[in-house]
Structures are given as C-alpha cells and as structure tokens.
Amino acid sequence: MDLVLDPAAKNLQRFKLSLPQIPVDYLPRPQIEAALEGHTHARVLLFSAPAGFGKTCALAYLAERRLQAGGAVVWLSLGPEDDEPSRFFLQLIEALGAVAPGLGADAQGYLRNAPQVPVAVVMESLLADLARCARPLLLVLDDLHFICDPELIASLDRLARLAPEGFVLAIGSRARVPLRLATWRAHDLLLEIGPDELRLSREETRDYLASHGLELDDRALNTLYAQTEGWMVGVQLNSLLLRHQPEGAQPPAPVGGDPVAVGDHLLRSVFEQLPVDMQEVLLSLGVASQLCGELANALTGRQDGQALLERLEAMQLFLLPLDRERQWYRFHNLFAEFLRARLKERDPELLKQLHFNASLWFTNHHMQNLAIEHACLAEDAHMLAALIDGCGLELINRGQLSLIYRWRQKVPDEVAQNFPVLVLADVWTRASELSLPEANRMLDELLERWGQGGADPQLSDKVLAVLAIKAVLAMQKDDLPGCIALVRKVEPQLGRHAAFLETAILVLGALAHVMLAQPEQARRLLALAQQRKHFLEGRYLDMQLANVEILLYLEQGQVKQAQLLFEQMRSRLLPWFGERSRARLLPTITEALIAYQQANFEQIEEHLRWALNTVDVINPVDFYAQGMLALARTLRLQDRPREALASLALMQNLAARNHAWRFYAQAVAEEIAILLQETGTDRLKRAEQRYSAVDWARLAGHYPRMTFNPVVWAQGLTRIRLQQARGHYSEALHEITQLRGQLQNGWHGLQRLRLDLLAALSYQRLGYQERARSLLVQCLVVAERGEVRSLFVEEGEAIQQMLQQLEAAERQPAMQGFIRSLLAIWPGQAARKTLEALEEGLTEREREVVHLAARGMSNEEIGQQLALALGTVKWHLHNIYEKLKVRNRTQAIRRARELGLLD
C-alpha cells in the first residue's frame, strides 16, 4: 500500500477493490452459464486463458448475478506489486471489510504487529471471521498469475479448503496457477473455465458484429472466424478495422494460427489507421498502467487530459474505466503491451523519459509504490534511490525491510552509498550474515559522513536508526556497556523521533541493564519505553518490552512472579503472532527458562530446539545462550548427559563466535558439573583437567566494570564443586563465603539459593547435621514460595540423599509434599517408576512383539513368527503404545530400548 494517500491515490486504490463495469456489448455466454449451473457445489471457479479471452468480463458478469441473487461479492484486481504478503492482505481485508464491517479486523492487527507478515496466522484469523459471515460470499481474485509468493499460494489453498459453506473463490488468470488443483478436482470442488468455454461461437461472433452495425456475408464471416477462432479481442480488433475501412471491405487475411501473431497483426492494423497525432498520444499514454486526466497531461504535454481519455473510451480503443466516476482508466493489457513494445522499438530513450515523468507525477501525489515502479522502468538509479530513501524509515518502522531489499537490488552500489536508508539496508544484510565487525564499521562510517560531531548534536531519524542497529549489534557482541552508552546518547532527545525506533533502543538498553544486574536502571528505561510505545499501533515491541520485564524477575529469582507476568503476556499479546512466528522466538525461550526452573519439562526440548535453530541477528545473544544452557540442563535432568554435553559444546561455539565469554564460562562450568556427577573413577581427574584448560582470569578481564562478574561467578561455583568432590568441605565453605560477597541484595535470588544449598551439603558432610538441616529447610521454604525445583536436582545425588532423610523426618504435609515433588523429578526416577509399572503390566506376549518389532519385522512377519492373526498383532501393539505412553511403533521401540526392555 502507498504510505500516504491523497484523493487521487484513494480513487486509484478503490478501483482495485471495485467490481468492474460490464461492457454494454458483452454477450452472455450460455456454455459458461450451463457449466456454473451444473456445478453449484464447486468451491473454486478457475477462469484461465491467455489475454483477451474475456476472463474479467465473464467474472464481472458472474459477480453481478451473485449480487442480484442476494449474495455478497468481494472483488480484488491484482498487479505485480501485490506479490507481497502485507500488501496483498491489507487490500483483501479492506475489500472484505467493505462487505462485512469488522471482518478481518484481527487479521489487520496481526499485520501491524509483526516484523514479518505471519501469513498462516492472518489466514487463520480470516477463516475464523468468514465462519461468522451469514451471507453467501463470492471472492474474486482477478489476474492471480501475478501472485507467486509460496506462502500466499499456500494460504489461498487453505482458504479454499477450509472456508465455510457458502464461500466460493473465483480466480482469473492468464497462466496455470500453482494451487492444489488436482486435489480440488479429485474432490469435485473445482470448476475450470478455459479458452474453449470462453471463445465466441461463430453465431456469437455474428451477433457481436451485428451489435456494432456490421453485417458480413457467410464468406467474410468464415474468414474472420478462421482468423480469430472466437478470440474475443481478435473479434473486437476486426470490428474496429471494418468500421474504419471503406464500405464493402473484407476482413484482413488470416495470419497463421498463433493468437499472439494474429493479435499483433490486428493491433498494428488498427493503430496504423489512426491519425499520426493520435498515435503519438497513445504511445505516450501507454507507459502508465493506470491513467487519470492530470497524469495524461503530464505524459502528453496537453491540457485536456480528462476529455482526451473520455474520447479514447468513446472510440473503443481498449481504454477501460476503473471507477464509475471515470477518473481512472487503463488500457487493455494486450493494447498496453503493444504500445510499450512499439515505443521501445522506435525510441527507447523517450520511453525512459515518459516513465520518469510518470514517476515524478506519482511522487508528487504521494503514491510511492507506483513512483518507485516507474523509476525502475525509467532506469533512473538516482531517482529510484531517492524515492526508496524517502519512504524507507516508514517501511522499517512497519517491519517491511523485504521491500527495501528488493528495490535495493536495482540501485548500483556507487549510487546507493549516497542514500542513508539504502546503506542501512546493506548494513543489515551484513549483520544478518553475522559479519558483525564489518557491519559496525559501515555504521561508524555513516555516522562520520553525517557529521555527528559536537557536544550535543541533534539526532535525525536516520541517525537514530543507525544507533538502534549499533545497539542490536552491541548486544550480539555482548558489549553491554556499549549498548547502554548508545541509549544514553538518545535518551535526552526522546520524543523527537519515530516512536518505533525510540522504543526499540530503550528496550535494548533495559535488557543490557538486566544483564548487568542493574534493576533500577532497567526499570527506568522500561517505563520510558512504555510511554513511547503508546504512539505505536503494533504489538511487536510491546511483547518484547514485556519479555524483558519477565527476564528481570527471573534474574531476581522471582520465578513465580515471572510466570504470572508471562501468563498475562500469553493472553494479551502472544495471540497476535503465529505459533512459529519469528517474533515469538524470545518469548519461547523465556517460557522455557521459567518452565525449567519449575521442572515442567514437557515440550521444553521441542520449543527450545525450534527457537535455537531460528537464529536472527535482531535477537540478543543472551537469549540464545540462556536457551542453550536451559536445554543442556533439561537433557541432563532427563538422564541424557551425552546430549547435554553436545548442547554445551554448541553454546561454547556461539559464545566464542560472539565474544560472549561469560556464557563460555557458564558452559564450561556446567560441563564440569556433569563430569563430577558421572560414576567413573576418573571423573574428578577429568573435571580438574577441564577446569585447568580454561584461562579464567583472561575471560573475567572482559568484564572489569561489572559489580557481578559472571566469569568469576562461574569459576567460583566450579571451585566449590571441585572442593566438595575432593572432600575438602571446609575449603568449599570458604569459597562460598567469598563468592557470596558478589551477590546484591534484592537480586541474584537463584544464585543465593544455590550457594545456601551447597553450604548445607558442606555442613552435612562436616558433621554439623542440625545446621545443615536448618539451612536446607530454609532453602526449601524459599524454593517453594518461588516455585523453584530444578536447582536442587542440578547438585546431584548428595542433595537427593539429604532430601530423602528430611522427607522421612518431616511432619509438615506441605513441606513433605514439596520434597516428594523434588525427588520425583530426579534423573532416572521416572524411568524406574515406569519400569516398575511395566514389570507388572507388560505381558510376556507383548514383550515378544516389542522384541520382534525392534528387529524390523512387519506386522505380518510378527504374526507368522508368533502364529498370531494380523488383527491380534495390531491389538498387542495398541496395548504396548498405551502402556509405554507413545503414539507409534518407532516411539515404542525407542522407549523400550531406553527402559532396557530389549536387553
């Protein structure tokens, strides 16, 4: 859609959504009527034929009949510029809303609230609205051959398949559309109207000519029909020729059998009969896909543009009105293509100049998309770059970078470097390729070129966009102080720039403060972001802001509060985005972090693997690293240490690539914790070797200004665990005291709980049983209040034994229940319980079936081996699936192997 619409642009947009007028000389087609009446159950009506066969007229006639019958009709004429999800859906929603007010309102919200169009979600919302539409509805998509986007095509397939009763999709297309025609055809839901049905018969051709005062004898009629074969435009062209030729003249001789050759011959014949001055006018007007009186003046240099267009329409020179007021027109596609080809052949420079003039006119009337389209055709790189630069920030604010990328490809590098938005697009491309240093270098050159010197320079929106991208890259490089410095540069000038950019950079700054353990500064920036986001229609930044607030509570150790806030975000914001929308990456990771702390492991792995496999430079490395750590810990708690170590290796690679050494240290600390809990006799030696292989001091040196140095924390925690593994519990308590000095009051709740838990273990090993018990109870009270569970299991079998002893002596039912819930999630616990249940529940015959299935035998082969009927084998498998809590054979074999049933 064009960014700013003046009255001329609004009228032009309206014609795309309006039912075209049926020509007065249109002949109803009995064969088409018969086909429609014989397929009233069809959900998809496909009118497919080359140009000039009358598809649009036939569709318009069909639409008029539906309106007369009391149905609703939505019409959308498509063009090349509509092959973009946002533009397509915005127009479709506008057309639907004109027929049923409110229809598509939620879908429109989705379009405004995601950086990338969630095509599947938008279509699901439209389907839900259509289900509430009481009237039968015909949706006409004319010229669908312009739509190639695979997501749009898939959504139209879904629309045709799931739309409610009474909905019919009618399509006009020059080419075969890449929809699931075979499926629709097989279900008898498709009616195809092709060239054979659209052709005029010999008698219809005679009737058409007679309606224009042309009476041909049989020989002349046969000659004309042999040439056109009922091709509507061919008949019209012959009619024009005969009306302008001397009386008694015959139709032109046939030119082969190719409709393209016939059409070109007839068009040339009609064109060359016109006066020379009229030919020049038509050539000038033909460059524009849409015409109005003012634009006609700009292209021809005349002052009677509106009267000229009306005269051309009266002459039936294939000029079609696009609105009932006759303000906008277009040439028939065949005639327009002929005019452009002829002008390009005769004077290619004039063709470019006329496109330039059209681009200038559309620019002055605030129709940016059409202006850019004609600038491309004018091959004027400077004008094209200037136009993109002018509307680029608005597109960025709306999350439509894809349009800028597409147009950027048509601008040479030497021209693009002088236009900031195009340079920003290049920078973002580099950043997306994870070439962060190069992207930063380009951004610094931009700032220097734009003269951002002086004590307090005024920031433009373009400079703010650069600073926002630099803040994103700083988060990717784990340069938290650098990100905050950029925010401080912007903060004094808040309220003077695009709200989207200001909100984005404030949210990034708040996240950096959270990571630096600076809660008050983080809350201040979040409050400012809340104020600025009220000026935005979208919910994307609203969701990211809420996500940072949730993370803030998690870092404080307030898991329960974080869960409550997430539930609010889930109900208020997440429904605006699809389940697999990239906009939901960070909330997905945050939800997994909360679920992990609460030991709700169901679907954590599935959700995290999706989020971690969808790397996006716009999302800070903190979330990916924390997600990888949560995944590794989940695998570890599920008694899958090898997979956990593999996940930690990926985390170390990510940290090293982004110079996020605090996460590298965390991954190594977690790796050592896993090694210490192994059963091998050399576990302590291997753990000490891994610890010694890391230059902890060098890694900690990257965070000199952080009051809570995350590398020092990871190192200290590892030293405590190593001391305990050696049996040096007094030394471990000393390390705990030293490490506790780093923690801040009101913050680091989970870290404080972990140290108290390790201290309880050390006291218990030293013989201070009452002190150990008291400290453990204190940890349990805090954990129960905050719904924290996984932290206990992470510390291994020693803590498990302490909890078992406490559970046996505990007299308070609530505390006893909480302890039992902790013991139930210990690694191997679930498997042992399942195995115990199976020892009684799995029959001997079921065990035999599982063994044979694991050997790769089919159901028939199992039946032959055990002398069982095929139905009996299937019944045994059904029982096995239920007992193993699986859905299919593959899962059953894997589960049986995990439980040792195949040994």
**Domains of the chain with bracketed CATH:** 28-198 (3.40.50.300), 202-257 (no CATH), 661-827 (1.25.40.10), 831-898 (1.10.10.10)
Given this model, what pLDDT does residue 70 score?
A: 84
Q: Say what the pTM is.
A: 0.63
Given this model, what pLDDT does residue 7 score?
A: 47
Low-confidence ranges of the chain (pLDDT < 70): 1-18, 23-25, 109-118, 243-266, 393-402, 428, 430-435, 451-457, 536-538, 578-580, 615-619, 828-842, 898, 903
Given this model, what pLDDT does residue 41 score?
A: 81
Distance CA 810, CA 819 (A): 9
**Encoding tokens for residue 263?**
């059409």
Enclosing H/E stretch for 173: strand 167-173
Candidates 366, 318, 278; CA nearest to 8 is 366
Given this model, what pLDDT does residue 903 score?
A: 62
| SS3 category, 139 | strand
Distance CA 376, CA 382 (A): 10
**Encoding tokens for residue 405?**
């990328």
| SS3 category, 519 | helix
Q: How far is CA 114 from the centre of its chain?
A: 8
Note the pLDDT tens digit of each residue in 419-478: 877 877 777 676 666 567 777 787 887 777 776 544 446 777 778 878 888 888 888 888
Residue corresponding to tokens 């800070």: 620
> Taking the CA of residue 217 as centre, how many other CA atoms within 13 Å lie in the half-sphere pointing to its CB?
4
The residues facing 75 across adjacent strands are: 140
Given this model, what pLDDT does residue 839 score?
A: 46
Given this model, what pLDDT does residue 753 score?
A: 93
Length of the chain (residues): 903
**Encoding tokens for residue 636?**
């570890």
- Distances from the Cα of 706 to the Cα of 400, 512, 515, 675, angstroms: 37, 12, 10, 29
Long-range contacts of 602-608 (CB under 8 A, 24+ apart): 604/630, 604/631, 604/634, 605/631, 605/634, 605/635, 608/634
Given this model, what pLDDT does residue 509 score?
A: 93
Given this model, what pLDDT does residue 524 score?
A: 94
Residue 901, number of CB atoms within 10 A of its CB:
21
Cα distance between the two ends of the chain = 65
Given this model, what pLDDT does residue 770 score?
A: 92
> Taking the CA of residue 844 as centre, how many other CA atoms within 13 Å lie in the half-sphere pointing to its CB?
1
Residue 635 burial class via C-beta count within 10 angstroms: exposed 0-12, middle 13-18, buried 19 and up: buried
Given this model, what pLDDT does residue 522 score?
A: 93
Distance CA 529, CA 801 (A): 48
CB 607 within 8 A of CB 592: yes
Sheet holding 190-193, edge to edge: 72-77, 137-142, 167-173, 44-48, 190-193
Given this model, what pLDDT does residue 389 score?
A: 81
Distance CA 529, CA 535 (A): 10
Torsion of Cα atoms, 523 then 524 then 530 then 535, to 10°: -160
Residue 531, number of CB atoms within 10 A of its CB:
14
Distance CA 5, CA 2 (A): 6
Note the pLDDT tens digit of each residue in 343-361: 898 899 999 999 999 999 9
Residue 800, number of CB atoms within 10 A of its CB:
17
**Encoding tokens for residue 584?**
């939901």
